[in-house]
Amino acid sequence: MTSNGLDAALWSFGRGAGLAALGLFTLSLLLGIIGRSGRSLPLLGRVGVSDLHRTAALTGTGLVAVHVGSLLIDPYAQLKVVDLLLPFLAAYRPFWLGIGTLAADLLVLITLVSVLRARIGPRVFRSVHWATYVLWPFALVHALGAGSDATSPWFRAFALACTLAVVSAVGWRLAASFPGRGWDRQPRRTA
């Protein structure tokens, strides 16, 4: 392979990892809301819902690392290490990339708190976890803006599908009829 070919491969690989991460985060968010409702899913059960929620999120996180790592190596992307930490300084599409930087930083925080939650305690864990509702739209916006596939129809369909899924899930979450597992400590109907 020529060096250009390698670069092109890295570029595709990096973007592909990013898109896959977005898909997995979408799945994780949906499963998180289902878990919060206390509802079970066929085949998975409640355990499966929370296991898959976690696995999807962690895999997505890993893919973000791949996404960022491969783009760091790729000279075409012109990504520098500082761009991982501080937003809006990048050479290429700085605004949209900056959104991605913020999302990545947020992801690191959320992941660390989740992994260490036994030590941190449920209340702090829960507060930080709410930030996933900020993370997801940042990831989507970053993909739409910084991703060079943003104009391609298959990517748009993918982004639309993810968005519809998240919007309906969040709509359900906010509805008065959402089951909610007893956080408010009200007596329930007798089973």
DSSP labels, 41-102: -TTTHHHHHHHHHHHHHHHHHHHHHHHHHHHHH-GGGT--THHHHSTT--SSSHHHHHHHHH
Q: Which residues bind another protein (CB under 8 A)?
A: 35-36, 38, 40, 45-47, 50-51, 117-118, 121-122, 125, 181-183, 185-188, 190-191
Distance in Å, CB of 52 to another protein, minimum: 11
Residue among 154 and 188 whose Cβ is closer to another protein: 188
Residue among 32 and 87 whose Cβ is closer to another protein: 32
Distance in Å, CB of 188 to another protein, minimum: 5
CA gap 71, 80 in Å, rounded: 9
Distance in Å, CB of 3 to another protein, minimum: 46
Residue among 45 and 75 whose Cβ is closer to another protein: 45
CA gap 126, 102 in Å, rounded: 20
Distance in Å, CB of 101 to another protein, minimum: 30
Residue among 6 and 47 whose Cβ is closer to another protein: 47
Count of other CB atoms within 10 angstroms of residue 186: 7
